[in-house]
Amino acid sequence: MVQATFSLKERDQKRLIKDRLVRLAVTCGGVSVLGALVLIFIYLALVVLPLFSDAELEANVASQPISTPNIKYLNIDEYGERAFVISEQGSAEFWLLDHETSSPVWSKQLDIHPIKFAESGSDWFAMSDEHNHVEVVRPKFVYALHANGRSFTPELEHLPLPSHFKLAGDGVSVEQMAFAVTGHESVFASYLANKSVIIRWTDLSERKQQGEFRFPTQFDHVDQLLLTPDASTLYIRNGSELVVALRDGQEYKVREVVDLSQGDEKHDVISMTLLSGAYSLLMTHSDGLVSQWFDVLTDGERKLTQIRDFKLASEMTLLLPDAHRKGFYSFYKNGTVQSHYTTSEKLVMFERAYQKSPTLAAMSDNERYLATYRDSRISVAKVDNGYPEVSFSSLWQKVWYESYPEPQYVWQSTSASDDFEAKFSLVPIAFGTLKAALYAMLFAVPIAVLGAIYTAYFMAPKMRRVVKPTVELMEALPTVIIGFIAGLWLAPIVEAYLASIATIAVLLPVAMIVIGFVWALLPKSLLRRFANGWHALILIPLLVLFIWLGLSFTNEIEQQLFAGDIHLWLASYGINFDQRNALVVGFAMGFAVIPTIFTIAEDAIFSVPKHLSDGSLALGATSWQTLVNVVLLTASPGIFSAIMMGLGRAVGETMIVLMATGNTPILDFNILEGMRTLSATIAVELPESEVGSSHFRILFLAALLLFMFTFAVNSIAEWVRQRLRTRYRSL
């Protein structure tokens, strides 16, 4: 018997090679996508991680012994190269640091022999002599850049005071003094030996004394006077009792008297310092506690209120506020230095940097160099304290910001003021992201899913071939165009027809049920003339007519249901209305999300094997029973994936929420108010942020949160889809 020779060996070998190549290509594509995700995550994490690092201090980058005795004032330039000092004898000197020299590079003996000293903002330093004459100076580190480097020119600026100006009359000694220099005047407050407090101010442009004010009451003792840089507030401290006086024209009026110890003798105050910006006071207590106080509006009146405490060691000897930020440095007997940031309540530095505590300390204007003085030597430390504002509590918990009535969640990254306290709470913008996505999904999911069910299961094939591509084409619309139309066209319409829209939202589902009930009552002979799957052609015109009627009778609806003005009616119930609000975002973003959900869900439903539905119908089940118990269960993995894909799209949407909302970071579920989302914040603020700053890195943290949320949603969706697929695979 002859055997037939038949072989597919060559064809099978080619097919095997093709299969392996395709499998390799798919595997490489999947691995590359996963690798790209991992690299994105690593990059974002590397940018964000420095936010939560501690500050670094490099001690003794420069050191210089000086021959000037009894230093009362110390200042340092922004390069950490030159220092300025004023001695107790009234000698003003510039010293070059870290150079073997025994004499200053510039020196001058001031015109008076001071016995009282005081500091104020903008580096001004005041001195008065036994005759109550006063001299106010400040150093100016003038640098000129040229091809060979930079050259330094020392300058000492004198405040232009009137000739023979005195803090008080002859024969009365000054016990305490404080001063402030504004743009056009200087103000001096003095506590005299006769137990009176006197304020004198001068006109700097005309160099003449403008006025004088003396408190009508006497003070038995005053430990410290402090004037804010704008001279609007005078603080008079006697032990733990603080008198707060506000300027009113040509006089100062006592607003309140505050017990700084809060009734506990263990917390007696030994000194007070103005925090940068002069909105807050730092009180140093005898037990090492440092408390922060600022004005809080309570019952229509501002009162100085204790906000937070910093528990430091009782061996603290010196407190130094930051030059511009809301932090301070504390120095201890054993040479330890700490740095706290008040807003975030963060201990950003704890380091044993010195052998002993310095007697004086100064911070450069750029806050990069810390100069200390002890035992006739100036030491300079380099400070890297880039992100003191950021901590877990400042990002995710309520923070009591300066002049706020209570702790709040606030996102406000910039301001026109140099004394601005940055507010980096992520809660408002994270809440806004979820709020925008929630209202968009409430609008999109019912329409998209129910539309997909009808299109895939009930609609006539000829109509489906038109409807499905049309809906899919909607996804090609640029979101910037949708946001533009929503912000400039839809938002004014919603505002003008708000009463009708609210009424239609309630009555439109009722109208659909009524139309269906009326359709069921029509004669069977009439119903047979309409083929199955074409009912939408009848329903849609009727619904459009109902909507048109609702919009046409806006005034009547507003008059009958909302007392003539829906905006005033809402305001009477404490509901605010913004033209660009979550309702507009829900419509616009829902319109953008609908095609994504519709397409995936419709494909899942239409792909259910025909024999399943035919078998169910053959066993006597109705079309609705077959849909609910067979088709939807089988297609549930795809429907769930569609919804999750739509949620991911809504959370990451940028242009629509950027253009169709007021971009106000508020915490309110009110659908008639706006919000601000993470993506919109990144789009708006990242181009304007300083590279490497706290603001810049927090925006990357927002991007990392979006990335992680999207990844988590997709992972959960895939896990649920696989479980649903396994559960209903037997169908």
Could you give all domains of the chain from N- to C-terminal order, each with its CATH number?
A: 56-396 (2.130.10.10), 432-688 (1.10.3720)
Side-by-side strand order, sheet with 106-109: 71-76, 82-87, 91-96, 106-109
* Residues in the chain where the model's pLDDT stays below 70: 1-11, 416-419, 728-731
Cα separation, 303 vs 294, whole angstroms: 8
Backbone angles phi, psi at 410, to 5 degrees: -140, 135
Give me the helices (H) in 122-241, please: none
Give the β-pairing of 149-158 and 174-181.
unpaired
674, 502 Cβ separation under 8 angstroms: no
Contact 326, 275 (CB under 8 A): yes
Answer for the pair 601, 448: CB distance below 8 angstroms, yes or no: yes
Cβ–Cβ < 8 Å for 124, 159:
yes
Residue 199 to residues 124, 153, 507, 663: CA-CA distances in angstroms?
Answer: 18, 36, 72, 47
State the Cα–Cα distance between residues 418 and 388, nearest whole angstrom: 17
Alpha helices in 8-83 (DSSP H): 9-48
Which residues are paired to 199 by β-bridges?
Answer: 189, 213
Amino acid, res. 262: Q
- The residue with tokens 């999750």 is 644
Q: Model pTM?
A: 0.85
Instruction: Tell me phi and psi for residue 665, to 5 degrees.
Output: -80, 85
Q: Are the C-beta atoms of 71 and 360 separated by less than 8 Å?
A: yes
Can you read off the two tokens belonging to residue 506? Answer: 């309630």
Burial bucket for residue 271 (CB in 10 Å: 0-12, 13-18, 19+) = middle
Cα gap 489→496, rounded to integer Å: 11
**pLDDT of res. 93:** 93
> DSSP letter at 4?
P
